[in-house]
Structure 1
Amino acid sequence: MPKITVNNAEINYKLINSGKPETLVFSNSLGTQFSMWAGQEEALSAHFNLLFYDTRGHGHSEATSGDYSAELLGNDILQLTIKLGIDKFHFCGLSMGGLIGQWLAINGGSKVEKVILCNTSPKIGDEKSWNDRIDLVGREGLKPVADGTAIKWFTDDFIQTEKEEVSEILSRFMDNSPAGYQSNCAMVRDTDFRENLKEIDQPVLIVAGSGDPVTTTEDARNMHSQIKNSQLVILNARHLSAFERPKEFNEAVLRFLGRG
């Protein structure tokens, strides 16, 4: 995949530009790579240009030093789209990517058209739990975090019936930079948009997983109540709803973006 330097970091990306009038940008969750969106590529590329990228500190994007912020990662996207000649875009982010999406909706102005916020919340977790995770990765690397990840990300049925897919995404989790993972944990730890959701003017689709233990359906309903122009869809999934339920997820996105 090509790489490009934006905002003082080398970013790995994949652009499917089929000459469509609209572009949809995807942002991965903490610990994944843009390959997590493989189930969206075929269905959605028939209607939109698609831009996938590895968030700074993930996959094949550069892991710059220090704590990251929603502003830093949001500006990565704004500068990436400018360099690629994309004037306006729709945005879809899951979990950490959903925090970036909230920052973009609040700060991105007219560049950001419609926003899909998946399995996310304006505030995810608490300071102690994120500091504990940062310390654990510093001492022991990513493996102890990966060991408990599948049950948070996927329903029990999916873990049993789709063992290869689960194994593949956990393998990619281990391919990430431990230092980059820590830097992104700091971003999630420090980000809090609870007082800013009312500032979002763009149309927003909120996607939740019925069994998500990380960002719950209650979190999703609270966001829906505060974002004035929003819709809510709940899928039978845990935290990685787009990966676990691609067909239903894609149908919801296409309806929201006027292609359903």
Structure 2
Amino acid sequence: MTVPELAVVDFGGPADAPLILLGPSLGTSAATLWGGVADRLVEHARLVAWDLPGHGRSARPSDPFGIADLAAAVLALADRLGAETFHYAGDSVGGAVGIQLVLDTPRRISSATLMCTGAVIGTPDGWRQRAATVRAQGIWPMVDAAPGRWFAPGFTERHPGVAAMLLDGLSHTDPEAYAKTCDALADFDVVRRLPEITVPVLAIAGRDDVPTPPESLQRIASGVSDGELVVLDGVGHLAPAEAPDRVAALIAENAGLPASPIPDTVDDVYRAGMAVRREVLGDAHVDRAVAATTDLTADFQRMITEYAWGGIWTRPGLDCRSRSMITLTALIARGHHEEFAMHLRAARRNGLTNDEIKELIMQTAIYCGVPDANSAFRIAADVLSDYDAQGGAR
């Protein structure tokens, strides 16, 4: 069994700094799950997160895969990054991959921070039933159940933007890839092998985690030769997104690194803006824009990245899908046709369907004017047909 090459989100960091690889939870996008933690560590480490097959930026898998296959793919990623050794942190299935890594290649792993996970998670029958449900009904039953499974009580009210972005990422996860990951978890059970692990392990549990309660992490910490357990109050199953400050500090301590405060420098805002700009517009578009930058336009390009992408698109109050709808409406109203075409593609990447875009343009016909809506439909017909013809690249 094999898996495709894993797509990554490179959060940056000093080129000569230690590498930390970040593993995702089932149904999440690495950029959304790990962005807050990466912001707090990037001054002292190079942070690279990977997406599960069919999640985030990764392509849909053609073959079945297991946790050991994912671990091998992570090692291949480290090789591509030129890292002989690296620190690893993973949540849920990403944590299970971390356990497999320290079992298979302990000499490559400098430290392991495993959160909201287990040496066995759930039951084989439970995972196979979930896989069957997704194959039969699509991803939406998982989206409906996710808030109660993922978040501690009150999190969605306190942080509606973060919760919405995570749920939006789940809604655009490939159903078959999700099901294949369930199949992999059904076959994962390394409880008896925990005593083989000699790499220092920090196990982090969420007090309110339903799928992998603190007892699951206690089993890991007690089973390995050098383990420690930390339980975070007010945290559910997605600790990196729910408590980025505390998680970043714990990863840094386990890796022997200082943790950075919340980014507030211009360079930090620029890096955060560039990350979300690439997530929304796609690497190809951003690479073309960067390549076309001249001495005349360099300051303007940096301003756009800092103020538009780093200052607005990274704010937690709205998810990227909602921001796309607002942006399309504003561009139609102002008659900015070139930008409108660009943001049509971004809107599709952020999860809007052609029918939803149609309804948005219909709405603008009333509030912005029929001629503006007519121009928008003409542009949308060309852009969306081209986007769909190319397979709606992630």
* Shared fold, TM over 0.5: yes
Q: Is the 8 A contact 1:208 1:234 kept in 2?
A: yes
1:177 matched residue in structure 2: 174
1:47 matched residue in structure 2: 44
Whether 1:12 aligns to 2:7 is: yes
Unmatched 5+ stretches in structure 1:
1-6
1:17 Cα deviation from its structure 2 partner:
4.5
1:246 matched residue in structure 2: 244
Q: Deviations over 1:130-177 (max 9, x none)?
A: 111111111110001110111111112111121121111101101111
Distance 2:27 2:13 in 1: 27
Distance 2:143 2:35 in 1: 21
The TM-score with structure 2 as length reference comes to 0.63
Whether 1:28 aligns to 2:24 is: yes
The secondary structure found in structure 1 opposite 2:7 is strand
The secondary structure found in structure 2 opposite 1:11 is coil
Q: Is the 8 A contact 2:6 2:52 kept in 1?
A: yes
Higher RCO structure (Cα 8 Å, ≥6 apart): 1
Whether 1:67 aligns to 2:79 is: no
Q: Is the 8 A contact 1:59 1:177 kept in 2?
A: no
Choose 245-254 or 196-205, whichever is displaced more.
Answer: 245-254
2:142 matched residue in structure 1: 145
The secondary structure found in structure 1 opposite 2:154 is helix
1:14 Cα deviation from its structure 2 partner:
2.5
Unmatched 5+ stretches in structure 2:
259-394
1:57 matched residue in structure 2: 54
Distance 2:17 2:43 in 1: 12
1:242 Cα deviation from its structure 2 partner:
1.4
Whether 1:209 aligns to 2:202 is: no
Alignment of 1:212-227 (within 5 A): 212-227=209-224
Q: Runs of 4 or more off by more than 4 Å in structure 1?
A: none
1:187 Cα deviation from its structure 2 partner:
0.8
The secondary structure found in structure 2 opposite 1:114 is strand
1:257 matched residue in structure 2: 255
- Alpha-carbon RMSD: 1.4
Choose 58-67 or 200-209, whichever is displaced more.
Answer: 58-67
How many corresponding residue pairs?
254
Q: Is the 8 A contact 1:57 1:184 kept in 2?
A: no
Identity score, percent: 27
Q: Is the 8 A contact 1:93 1:117 kept in 2?
A: yes
Distance 1:163 1:32 in 2: 16
Choose 51-60 or 164-173, whichever is displaced more.
Answer: 51-60
Q: Is the 8 A contact 1:115 1:202 kept in 2?
A: yes
1:8 Cα deviation from its structure 2 partner:
5.8
The structure carrying a bigger helix percent of its residues is 2
1:57 Cα deviation from its structure 2 partner:
2.7
Larger radius of gyration: 2
1:40 Cα deviation from its structure 2 partner:
0.9
1:221 Cα deviation from its structure 2 partner:
1.3
Distance 2:190 2:252 in 1: 27
Distance 1:109 1:62 in 2: 28
Q: Is the 8 A contact 2:54 2:178 kept in 1?
A: yes
Question: Which amino acid in structure 2 is aligned with residue 102 of structure 1?
Answer: I
The structure carrying a bigger strand percent of its residues is 1
Distance 2:159 2:17 in 1: 36
Are residues 73 and 8 of structure 1, via their aligned partners in 2, closer, same or farther at CA, if it must alter by over 3 Å? closer
Are residues 19 and 113 of structure 1, via their aligned partners in 2, closer, same or farther at CA, if it must alter by over 3 Å? same
The TM-score with structure 1 as length reference comes to 0.94
Distance 1:103 1:57 in 2: 21
Q: Deviations over 1:160-214 (max 9, x none)?
A: 1211211111011011111111111111111001011111111111000011111
Alignment of 1:222-237 (within 5 A): 222-236=219-233, 237=235
Question: Which amino acid in structure 1 is aligned with residue 8 of structure 2?
Answer: Y
